[in-house]
Structure 1
């Protein structure tokens, strides 16, 4: 139950070189960092009940402003008691600003200094999204962590285009902060842009710090630049941000990406990958990735991972999971999504424990060694 006397805060508990562990405190509960946020795009983590998501170890979910503003609308969700009540998730929720989806999904969009006008990908209806409107939508949703409205430029782009886009985003960040106002117990995060150019990243970070936010995201990555380039930016970009505030890497990612990001000082991340992959038969394990639809699994009575405690591994064989996936049974999406989300949260807990114990390097080496082994031998 919400305690409005509790304010948003972040306590850093331990560091191991650049890696950090701590706790974000909100009126709706604590978020242990580093934290992975499952994505509940349209007020649901697909194929999962909210209590099932919580059982995987998730402390916080992500909701999507763009999708929710179009359907069922933020105003309707507000009338029905807010997003937490609407989707039966009483723990913290972070909502993105809608900017990325406008750029990637919407049709016939027009970008100006004021904001973006676009046509819905659902029915072609016309909408406008500005910093002020994004803040209004996220207020109506009632999310605990609000993201400022920014533009994520399409890549590839020239350095001049990235610089122009970043500076527009910084002006929008100032407008977002003004429109957010004073909302005790709720947090507003700024978003650093600047592509892969250190000078632009530093300029963006300085602009955001002058405005002042409760947390800071590293945006504009995981958009096709590749892991090497992403890690190259993360080698320096988190250092431009205040050490006493949470750092959020948006839209990441694969298990290797997540571990590499935490190694470089990131506290929070989100991605649709574990849930989307579960629905397509892609399974993440400590021994790497497997595809449950492959024929090698059809007579295999063993679990996906004999050390995993999720329901899919405790109660079902690879043969059964292969069968229900090939038969297009709904339980396949449910069990494989649960397993993937459970595995991701196991990674987060492992990193939190390792950082607190000062043995992150050992944990990371064991993590990579396990995944390099590959899947167990076929029967």
Structure 2
């Protein structure tokens, strides 16, 4: 194998390791004194030192990225990233005004480092179609590492990764975080199934990983993650489902939100099915509280309580309540630009059907994340898998738009 190809694989694999390590967390509920059991060796040691390890990998990847050759010149920064950076800057300013200056500065520095690493690393490493596939491979490999780690842990002690009411949370902090990780890796795995299809063992491998992740997704009982995955897959196959695609999505999403505000429930012995079929909106009170805080403080958000900003349950309302219009406006521009990228990718797929799978995989990933951001505040993260996946998909989309990997 060519030495350059080996080097490419190593740095992309290091990126995958960074994505997985940054997802590690331990379930803790201090209010009720609940702490998840220890994991098997070496998973517990990795989880206990997850943040320092993630920072160490980030520094290593930064060094590699800053020293990477760039024969095709610098790739322009995807515009959504710029506005997400502005939101983080507003968070920093508000934290400096009345919170912990050191903690706030550190959070912003970590976020900036992750962004720079992606802009000088993956955005530069993608020089052709082969390296473009490695971009998807780096996301998919997080799902592979996650699957192997949790299969190993399940063999040793299943209770340690199903501690929360029997729902699967794996090596992440809770079932919702676990479901989000799975939902964000699935589009890349589907992409690789298509392009590795001629090679039997690769096809079987990716289908096996996908099956494991689907099982894990079901066991998380995370309705948000299931909706993310389902809509993402529907979008991926949108032109192969004919005219049924749009009404199907519209109908399912409408039914979901209608049932979310009712007491409809299906009795079932399985706690997972009970959770999935209980359509009560458990976030309604939080959302209402966030909306009320925004209405009360529309310009700069509610006063800072504690040493730093905290957001919960909704990326958009979280910004509105905490930062007011000063943060919400750039956040909405970010969302609009992501939608514009999805539209642009659809045009590329129509113009060049050979790149339909690439464009659809990226779009499915971005759509899934936009849906998930309504129920979780992961768009405001600074060092976890969700930021990693978001930046990866945005860079992949930029490469497709700028003809970085397309041979016209």
Using the size of structure 1 for normalisation, the TM-score is 0.27
Structure with bigger RCO (C-alpha 8 Å, 6+ apart): 2
Higher relative strand content: 1
The alignment's TM-score, normalised by the length of structure 2, stands at 0.26
